[in-house]
Structure formats: structure tokens, C-alpha cells
Chain A
Amino acid sequence: MKNNRFNVTSKAFAVLGLVTLMACAQETADTKTAMVSVDPATIEVQGEMKAELTSPPMVPASVGNRAAKKLIVDMEILEQEGTMTDGVKYVYWTFGGSVPGSFIRTRVGDEVEFTLKNHPDNKLPHNIDLHAVTGAGGGAASSFVAPGHEVTFSFKTLNPGLYVYHCATAPVGMHIANGMYGLILVEPEGGLPVVDREYYVMQGDFYTKGENGDPGLQPFDMQKAVDEDADYVVFNGKVGALTGDNALQAKVGETVRLYVGNGGPNLVSSFHVIGEIFDKVNVEGGDMVNENVQTTLIPAGGAAMVEFKVDVPGTFIIVDHCIFRAFNKGALGMLKVEGEENKRLYSGKQVEGIYNPEGGKIVTTDDAPEAAVATSKTERIELGKQIYSQTCFACHQGEGQGIAGAFPPLAKSDYLNTDVDRAIGIILHGKTGEITVNGEKYNSVMTAQTLTDEEAANVLTYIYNSWDNNGTEVTPTDIMRVKSSH
């Protein structure tokens, strides 16, 4: 939602003529208004400091009114195994141990002294190309470093904006596909306008030998990468990095700024927050500000700053609006907003109904891989958990708590526990219309799920054995029985 910022800005410009160019010497609040017409290349640095680096989704503190400094950035490259989604492992190559890599925050005129360390246990040489660097290769040539070695190079930040950095060692596509990208922010003098919350979100596409959801340690698949046939499209390196307990947080009335990047390697992001409109977008991470934007395009190797005030409480779903990526490949995050309802702005009875997930499985007629068959209740629960996180999670949430007013809870649910066959029926045939769960009324739509009998049995058993439910084991025979009773 928009404030009356135009007046403020124009006043600032009026004052501008009076205060011109005393900015460099003085660290006062006035510096913000006097930022124009200084050639960044001529800004002298005053003193030196170690850069604060943060893992996503956090960002370092704003530069505020500090003078340009010599900024020491110390970054370590680690090749390490991580989790892509429940049951699926992947060997990530990282800047600073996270995907995306550590967030670097600078201001115009800083002289960045960048040390890149390649951990001795790493197998490959790496380097870094920072799009914020003016110079051939963006630092890539100067930063090429063998395992067990480190290199240092320096650059001056000339252009304010939000920039991608990435590894540019051959084969470049593979280094990026394994997670070697991140964001570096160059703030204008005086810093960006202060907001209440800032977060770091970066999209990337991943290519694994197995299909989406195939368990185990999944190697990178070069052929799929060349074909641009992504198995996972995710925010912050893995499925669920921004959901459930990891969801971004805000309070009603606060202004949120997201620093959004797209590492690629292949896909362009249609970045959207369901139920919000971006008040301001710094298009492509540059100076141009667009207002009242629903979906902003973020190219691979590009970024954007999006800003919005949150006026109503609820869970806002962050997606790549190439929507199958969100519901079938993982490009889904959450912003949880707490605070007072504002019925005038949002009645609370309507439902985000357009983008109902239609099940996580693609139906094929033949050649389907052998699905895992549970041999015990424990296995059934384990397998069911994976299906839950792929299929049910988006609406019913990580702890089965649902979303108030929209999607009923499965945790400690009276509706669920009274009637197993009814629950089976809902999975098989979907559910429309009003129901009462734990005393609350819900009127929403659930689509029929395209699950096999085995999968339906497993996911129901998982649900019945989680979150204080009654511990029922549902078997494929139960599913078949309910199917044939109709």
C-alpha cells in the first residue's frame, strides 16, 4: 500500500539546492538529500571495516550514513552435501556455506578488498564474477583459485543497485547450477530508505539424475541442464527454505523489502506474492522504480528490490508465477504476517482459490518407475511424510495447522479423527462446500488428488500418526474398499 511519498520527495529536491555537496565530509542526516552529482570514482574512503556477511534469508545492517570505507570481504567456498527436499540429498557448491551465498552489503564509493578462499577439501577450482564490479570478467580472472588456496582482489563500487555474483569457472553452467550465486547490494550514499523488515530471497533451478522427489543423494544431470528441464525450482536453495518454521515474518503495518535475485542457471522468474501488490519495485535492481506491481520479472543473473506494506494478517505465499514451478517443483515460500484483522481491507471470507495445488504428481500412462511399497506402519509414515510435503503442505501447512479461514487444520482435527472413510473419500474425490473443523467453519475447495492407492494410504497414515491425531493405519486395501463403495 502506498504512502504519500511524492510530497516528501519533492520537498527534498527543493532543499537540495541549499545543501549541495557538503556531503562527503559530514556524516549528517542531510547527506541523503545531497547524493546527486558526485562522481563515485572520486569518493575518498575513510577508514576500513570488515563486512558483515549473512546467510539467507537475512541481510546485513544498512549502511546508513556511514562514509565510504575500505570494506574487507572474506568469503569461503565450500562443496558440501545438503538437503534438497525431504529424503533427497544434493551436493551443493556454495559461497559461504549457503545457497544463495552470503549477502554482501556495500555503499557507493566503497573500496572492497575481496578475499576468496577455496577450502582444501574442495575438488574444484572456483572464482567469482560480481556484477557489481566494473572491469573485465567482473573479477573472475583475478579470483580464479585452486582448492586449498586463497586470492585477494579489490574493486570500487561505482553504481548503486542490487547485483548478482556467481562462479564463472568452466563449466560455468554447472557451477551455477550447483548453487554458486548470491547477491551484493550497493547502496546509494546515505543508504536506501529505512524499512521495517528486509529479507534475502534468491531463486535457482536444479537438475538431478532422478525425477523430482526421487529419494537419495541425487547427482547433477548435465543433459537435463542443457535441455533446461529443471527438476527443482526453489527459493534459497531447497524446497521449504521459506515455509513452515522458516517462513519470513512481519507484523501488520510494517513495510517489507525483499532483495530478490535469480541465480538461474536457466529459468527466468515471474516473482509474485499471492495476496500482495508491490508498492515499489526497483526494476532489475536498478534506479528505476515502478509502482503497484503484481508480478515482476527477474532474469537469470538479475535481481529486483520489491517493497510493500503489509496491511492485513495472514500467510502470504511467495511464488514464481510460472505456477507449476511453485506447486510441483518447489518455488514456494511464505511470509507470515501477524496482527489485527482489518475487515475493511479484507473481509476474511474469501479464499485464495485460484491456485489450488492440483497434486504433486504427473500422471503417466506407462513406464512409471517402481514406486516404493511400505512394509510396515513406520515405513508407511515415512513415505507418507514425503508425499505430504509434496502434495498437502502448501495448504495444510508443515504442522498440519492449516490456514485460518481458508484451509482446515489436520492437526488434532475432530473432523479427521471421527471418520477415516470420509477422509479417504476426500483424498480420492476432493471436497467442496462448508464443513466444521474443531468448531471453525471452512468453505473452500480441495481438488481430487492423483495418488496411487499405496500413496494415499501412506499419506493418510502419516497424517493420522502426526500432530496428536488418533494413530490409525490406513492400508491400500482400505483405499480400494472406499473406492468400490461408491
Chain B
Amino acid sequence: MIKIYLSIAVLLFSFIGTTQESTAMKKIKRGAFVPLYGSDSLGVYVPDFMLDVYPVTNQQYLDFVKKRAKWKKSKVLRLFANESYLRKWENDTILGPEMNKNSAITNVSWYAAKDYCACQGKRLPSMDEWEYAAMASEKEPNAQTDSVFNSRIIESYELPKTYKNKVGKKFKNYYGIYDMHGLVWEWTSDFNSVLISGESRQDVDTEKNIFCGSASINASNLMDYAAFMRYAFRGSIKANYNIQTLGFRCAKSIKK
């Protein structure tokens, strides 16, 4: 009996010890929803897909760059990641002194995130997929009208320095996914597909409903305010940017 326990323990240890253990995934059940930028109230249909339970952590990313030399801090091409890439790391293989290995990896570019997921046999979630999964509260898949949930999200967006927190410590949503809100922003595969001029108020003309001036926003629509902040953020970044408060997680299509 003891032997079995031991071997289980060894197994567990080897799992933890193994470099680059892939994050567990959960299935997000298909459905339709109206995203913030949905023009003319057209819904978007999201087929079944798998999504990482946690954002990718510092440790996981460290293991990744040890194997993929082109993503080492000293080797990376500026075209794919600007000067801020892994800005707080000591060097190519050592995390910075204040970084926790179980916190979400940040200061990584879209190119790096995309390649990381590809190496796992996964991909980045699309913006629609991400937004769809992020609507879920603890109890329901679509909490768009839950005002308590929504003000909680806005509050969490405002708290400074949440990138320092560890993954998986806040609530688990309906699908079993952690940290969609309140830890770090996350890259999506098509983050820049919503055109934003940078002049938020003007965008009312071009992309109806996206930005603040829009009269469509009323008090019952708090979900949109949190979404505003995400879309505004996405609109301000480029694929080679590396930002202290921006990480990612991976997704996977389900083969029919």
C-alpha cells in the first residue's frame, strides 16, 4: 500500500517537476451572444472549444523559453517583441527577484504568446471566444445582466498591481475557468480586429456602440463598461508590445 502511495507521489512530483506541463483545459459549451461591438444587435455564434483553466504562468513560460531559443530575452527579434519583452527578468533563464513563478506571465508580445500556444498544440482564443467565456460568473454562463458580478469586475480592473497575484486564487467560473477578470489582461488572436481610432468619442460614427459617446449605453448596461475598458486596452496595443499587465492563455478547437 505504501508503495502505491509512494509511486503516486513520485508520479505527481514528476508531473510538477516536468518542464512545461500543459495547463488543464475545460470545455466551453457553444452558444450565441451579442458582443459589445455587435452592430445591429447581431449575435455571434461561438462553437464548442477548449480553454486553459489558468493564464500561462511565469514558470511555464520560463520552461518554454529554455527550449525555444528564439524567445530568449537576449535573442528575440525586435520585429516580434519590443524592448520591454520580459523586462523584469534577470536574464534569459532567471525570473526577476520580485516575480512569483505562479503568477501570470506578462511582458510578452502577441507573437510570443501565439508561438507558445502553438508549441502546446493549442492556439490563442479569438476575441469572441474570450469574451464569451468571460461572461460567465460562478453560477451562470451568461452574467451580462448580473449587476453585482459586473461591478465586481469593474472594481477588479481598477485595483493596481494585480499582476503580482498568483493564478487560480480568485473565483472559478461556470465553466471551471479562473482569472478571466481582475488578474491581467489577455492577448486574443484577433485583438486588433476592432478598429479604433484612438479618439474614443469619434468611434461612435465608425464602430457603433464601441465607445463612450454612444447613447446606447445606459445604467442597466454595466457589463459594457467593463468591456469598454478591455476594448480600449486592445485598441491601444500592437502585436510586438510587451506590457506589465498583459498575459495570455491558450485555447483549442474541438475536432468534429
On whether the beta carbons of B236 and A144 are closer than 8 Å, the reply is yes
Shortest CB–CB separation between residue B178 and chain A, in angstroms?
A: 19
On whether the beta carbons of A137 and B201 are closer than 8 Å, the reply is yes
Q: Beyond A145-B236, A147-B243, A148-B84, is A140–B198 a contact (Cβ under 8 Å)? A: yes
Q: Chain A interface: which of B69-77, B120-128, B226-234?
A: B226-234
- Choose one: B212, B222, B235; the contact of A223 (CB below 8 Å): B222
Query: Is residue A12 contacting chain B, with contact meaning CB distance below 8 A?
Result: no
How distant is the Cα of A283 from the Cα of B246 in the complex, in angstroms?
A: 45
Query: Is residue B24 contacting chain A, with contact meaning CB distance below 8 A?
Result: no
A470 proximity list for chain B (CB < 8 A) = none
Cβ contacts B194-238/A at 8 Å (1 or 0 each)? 000111111000000011110000110010010011011101110
Total interface residues on B, using CB and 8 Å?
41
Query: Is residue A362 contacting chain B, with contact meaning CB distance below 8 A?
Result: no
Query: Is residue A54 contacting chain B, with contact meaning CB distance below 8 A?
Result: no
Shortest CB–CB separation between residue B140 and chain A, in angstroms?
A: 21
Query: Is residue B97 contacting chain A, with contact meaning CB distance below 8 A?
Result: no
- Choose one: B162, B198, B244; the contact of A147 (CB below 8 Å): B244
Q: Beyond A91-B160, A171-B228, is A137–B212 a contact (Cβ under 8 Å)? A: no
Question: What is the chain A residue whose CB lies nearest that of B246?
Answer: A147
How distant is the Cα of A220 from the Cα of B225 in the complex, in angstroms?
A: 12
Query: Is residue A170 contacting chain B, with contact meaning CB distance below 8 A?
Result: yes
A136 proximity list for chain B (CB < 8 A) = 199, 202
Question: What is the chain B residue whose CB lies nearest that of A178?
Answer: B158
Q: Beyond A170-B232, A171-B212, A223-B219, is A123–B157 a contact (Cβ under 8 Å)? A: yes
Query: Is residue B241 contacting chain A, with contact meaning CB distance below 8 A?
Result: yes
Most buried by A among B84, B222, B245: B245
B197 proximity list for chain A (CB < 8 A) = 141
Query: Is residue B34 contacting chain A, with contact meaning CB distance below 8 A?
Result: no
How distant is the Cα of A174 from the Cα of B211 in the complex, in angstroms?
A: 12
On whether the beta carbons of A141 and B202 are closer than 8 Å, the reply is yes
How distant is the Cα of A319 from the Cα of B211 in the complex, in angstroms?
A: 35
Query: Is residue B242 contacting chain A, with contact meaning CB distance below 8 A?
Result: yes
Which residues, 124 to 183 on B, are CB-close (under 8 Å) to A? 147, 151, 154-155, 157-162
Q: Beyond A145-B236, A209-B155, A223-B151, is A140–B84 a contact (Cβ under 8 Å)? A: no
On whether the beta carbons of B84 and A172 are closer than 8 Å, the reply is no
Query: Is residue B26 contacting chain A, with contact meaning CB distance below 8 A?
Result: no
Query: Is residue B101 contacting chain A, with contact meaning CB distance below 8 A?
Result: no
How distant is the Cα of A146 from the Cα of B239 in the complex, in angstroms?
A: 12
A401 proximity list for chain B (CB < 8 A) = none
On whether the beta carbons of B244 and A120 are closer than 8 Å, the reply is yes
Query: Is residue B87 contacting chain A, with contact meaning CB distance below 8 A?
Result: yes
Query: Is residue A81 contacting chain B, with contact meaning CB distance below 8 A?
Result: yes
B237 proximity list for chain A (CB < 8 A) = 125, 146
Shortest CB–CB separation between residue A77 and chain B, in angstroms?
A: 12
Most buried by B among A123, A144, A145: A123
Q: Beyond A174-B225, A222-B225, is A137–B160 a contact (Cβ under 8 Å)? A: no
On whether the beta carbons of B233 and A124 are closer than 8 Å, the reply is yes
On whether the beta carbons of A125 and B233 are closer than 8 Å, the reply is yes
How distant is the Cα of A148 from the Cα of B198 in the complex, in angstroms?
A: 17
Query: Is residue A294 contacting chain B, with contact meaning CB distance below 8 A?
Result: no
A219 proximity list for chain B (CB < 8 A) = 151, 154-155, 158
- Choose one: A125, A168, A173, A223; the contact of B236 (CB below 8 Å): A125
Query: Is residue A39 contacting chain B, with contact meaning CB distance below 8 A?
Result: no
On whether the beta carbons of B202 and A170 are closer than 8 Å, the reply is no
On whether the beta carbons of A148 and B242 are closer than 8 Å, the reply is yes
On whether the beta carbons of B244 and A148 are closer than 8 Å, the reply is yes
Cβ contacts B55-96/A at 8 Å (1 or 0 each)? 000000000000000000000000000001001000000000
On whether the beta carbons of B245 and A144 are closer than 8 Å, the reply is no
A173 proximity list for chain B (CB < 8 A) = 212
Which residues, 83 to 119 on B, are CB-close (under 8 Å) to A? 84, 87
Binding site for A on B (CB under 8 A): 84, 87, 147, 151, 154-155, 157-162, 185, 197-202, 210-213, 218-219, 222, 225, 228-229, 231-233, 235-237, 241-246
A selection of 5 A-B contacts at a CB cut-off of 8 Å is A137-B202, A140-B199, A141-B202, A147-B245, A172-B212
9 closest A-B pairs (Cβ-Cβ)? A125-B236, A144-B198, A141-B199, A146-B236, A137-B199, A219-B155, A170-B200, A141-B198, A170-B212
